[in-house]
């Protein structure tokens, strides 16, 4: 049965806002936990959090303490990252902390990872951006050994040297928690098939044929590595009484997000050079992204994406962006998704 994850996005205000006060940050942290608890209450299977740094609208930059707090606040849902960036971490410290989160949650961790796309994150933490792919693969190698090897072991690689790695306690899950890799480019997608237990995909305004090509790359790489493919698809959207209402509440907010992703090279930067006129509701409707409308519109869209991918194993849904909607609106949307969409799609 397809699984549904919810993302309580760590954006907490407009891009380039003034630095938040401690009170604002504390209130926003409480909202993140309320959203996670609501997702569990209304039938979501998992809660996923992102990682972002050195941006004033990102009021909870590190996912690891947030995951621990969600583990303490919930009882059933899986708790994951979508995604975090291992190149930014000491591998042994990362292995130890994630193992403890799995223990704290009694085996609910899903570790979603990626090499990272934002150079400022690496600059912020003093990690060479050009080393991210090598550091990524070496960190995963150490992580897997640290989770599963009894007693101390040594590692001497290109980026890291340790004489006596000994992570204890080990993760609660046996043999270990699952690892998903988030990837956009063909090389990275093939890496997900080769190394991961699942691929976390997040196509935004990609043509359908491009998406199908990406899926083929992943499935072929997984088969070659002897792994069973598992695809998690990230989708933004808003559930309302009509498409018009959803566009009014959420569509304009997503266009601002569209501009941000274009700025950082994740979307169609060449076409967007035409200026603000390029960003239109007509294009959003043409691509069917984000998902906006009533329950019937959502069921149709989820079914369409399931068929495009050739079988989605897990959807991860996000209904809040830097500029909103409000907490009250978001909590209502989580409830409506849990009552009007998730159970019907599962049937």
Output the CA angle 238-241-242, nearest 5 degrees.
80
Give residue-wise pLDDT tens across range 142-176. 999 999 999 999 999 999 999 999 999 999 999 99
Residues comprising the chain, all counted: 347
Strand partners, 316: 5, 234
Report the C-alpha gap between 338 and 100 in whole angstroms: 30
Reduce the DSSP state of residue 224 to 3 states and report it.
helix
How do 161-165 and 153-156 pair as beta strands? antiparallel
Evaluate whether 8 touches 36 at the Cβ level (below 8 Å): yes
Q: What is the share, in percent, of the chain residues with pLDDT greater than 70?
A: 97
What's the Cα-to-Cα distance from 43 to each of 39, 141, 332, rounded to whole Å? 6, 35, 14
Evaluate whether 11 touches 320 at the Cβ level (below 8 Å): yes
Give residue-wise pLDDT tens across range 274-298. 667 788 888 888 888 999 999 999 9
What's the Cα-to-Cα distance from 290 to each of 85, 176, 256, rounded to whole Å? 25, 34, 13
pLDDT for residue 270: 55
pTM of the predicted structure, to 2 decimals: 0.95
Give residue-wise pLDDT tens across range 56-101. 999 999 999 999 999 999 999 999 999 999 999 999 999 999 999 9
pLDDT for residue 200: 98
Question: What mean pLDDT do residues 15-31 have?
Answer: 94
Q: What is the DSSP string of 107-146?
A: S-EEEEE-----HHHHHHHT--GGGHHHHHHHHHHHHHHH
pLDDT for residue 236: 97
Evaluate whether 49 touches 63 at the Cβ level (below 8 Å): yes
pLDDT for residue 93: 98
Question: What mean pLDDT do residues 243-266 have?
Answer: 86
Sign of the four-CA dihedral 218, 90, 65, 152: positive
Where does residue 180 fall: left (phi above 0), alpha (psi -120 to 50 degrees), or beta otherwise? beta
Rounded to 10°, the helix 208-224/295-309 angle is 50
Name the token pair of 6: 């919810």
Give the chain's domains with CATH numbers.
3-243+291-346 (3.20.20.30)
């Amino acid at each position: 049965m397809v699984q549904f994850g919810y993302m309580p996005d760590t954006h907490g205000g407009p891009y380039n806002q003034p630095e938040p006060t401690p009170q604002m940050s504390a209130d926003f942290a409480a909202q993140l936990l309320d959203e996670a608890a609501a997702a569990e209450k209304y039938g979501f299977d998992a809660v996923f959090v992102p990682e972002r740094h050195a941006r004033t609208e990102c009021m909870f930059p590190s996912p690891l303490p947030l995951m621990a707090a969600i583990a303490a606040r919930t009882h059933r849902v899986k708790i994951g990252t979508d995604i975090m960036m291992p190149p930014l971490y000491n591998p042994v410290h990362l292995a130890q902390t994630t193992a403890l989160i799995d223990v704290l949650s009694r085996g609910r961790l899903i570790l979603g990872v990626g090499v990272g796309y934002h150079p400022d994150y690496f600059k912020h933490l003093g990690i060479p951006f050009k080393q991210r792919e090598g550091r990524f693969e070496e960190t995963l190698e150490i992580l897997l050994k640290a989770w599963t090897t009894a007693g101390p072991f040594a590692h001497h690689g290109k980026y890291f040297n340790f004489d006596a790695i000994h992570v204890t306690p080990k993760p609660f899950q046996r043999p270990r928690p699952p690892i998903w890799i988030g990837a956009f480019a063909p090389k990275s997608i093939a890496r997900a098939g080769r190394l991961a237990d699942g691929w976390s995909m997040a196509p935004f305004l990609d043509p359908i044929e491009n998406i199908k090509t990406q899926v083929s790359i992943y499935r072929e790489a997984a088969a070659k590595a002897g792994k069973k493919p598992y695809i998690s698809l990230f989708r933004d959207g808003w559930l309302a009484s009509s498409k018009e209402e959803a566009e009014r509440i959420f569509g304009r907010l997503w266009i601002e997000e569209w501009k941000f992703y274009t700025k950082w090279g994740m979307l169609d930067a060449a076409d967007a050079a035409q200026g603000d006129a390029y960003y239109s509701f007509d294009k959003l409707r043409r691509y069917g992204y984000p998902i906006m409308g009533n329950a019937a519109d959502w069921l149709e869209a989820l079914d369409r994406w399931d068929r495009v991918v050739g079988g989605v194993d897990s959807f991860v849904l996000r209904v809040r962006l830097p500029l909103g909607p409000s907490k009250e609106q978001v909590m209502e949307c989580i409830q409506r998704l849990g009552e009007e969409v998730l159970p019907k799609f599962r049937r």
